[in-house]
Amino acid sequence: MELRSVEELMDLLYACREAAGPGGGPAADAHGHALRTAALLRRGRPADKELQIAGLVLAVGGLLWPGDPAGRAGRTADAVRGLLGDRVARLVAGRLRPDAVADDDLRRLREAEEEGRTAVFDAGVLEDWRTVLELVAARNSRLGAGG
């Protein structure tokens, strides 16, 4: 699967929240966790939109490939690469791979993801991220067209 538009990605991110149903559950936790991870990355690196988005899109893997935790990160990376670019895909793919070179960006993503599991704060709503997703997708589209 390859995501072709921000609207498709937003639909998936909303579906992560709705998959839990009225009683909450793991999908609701994944949705909130993604928002907290992205918000933590925004606080730590406000200018790094790609890093923030990498934290946000982690949630879609659990929805798309619920029975494949081992292959989820790579598949999620493949799904977002065309839309959000190689850097976002590399970060998403590398977050669960112990052999991935833990550069500063990957280290920050892993730390924010871990902190996002237990942090309690208002991380905003998904719609707050639409413009950031559109900016990253537009930038990736321009880079891909010229290369």
pLDDT in tens, 51-87: 999 999 988 888 888 877 778 888 999 999 999 999 9
Buried b (16+ CB within 10 A) or exposed e, 66-104: eeeeeebbbbbbebbbbbbbebbbbbbbbbbeeeeeeee
Those residues whose C-beta lies under 8 Å from the C-beta of residue 106, and which sit 6 or more positions away, are 91, 94, 95, 100
Q: Per the confidence metrics, is the pTM higher than 0.95?
A: no
d(CA 39, CA 89): 19
d(CA 105, CA 91): 8
pLDDT in tens, 99-118: 667 789 999 999 999 999 88
d(CA 2, CA 9): 10
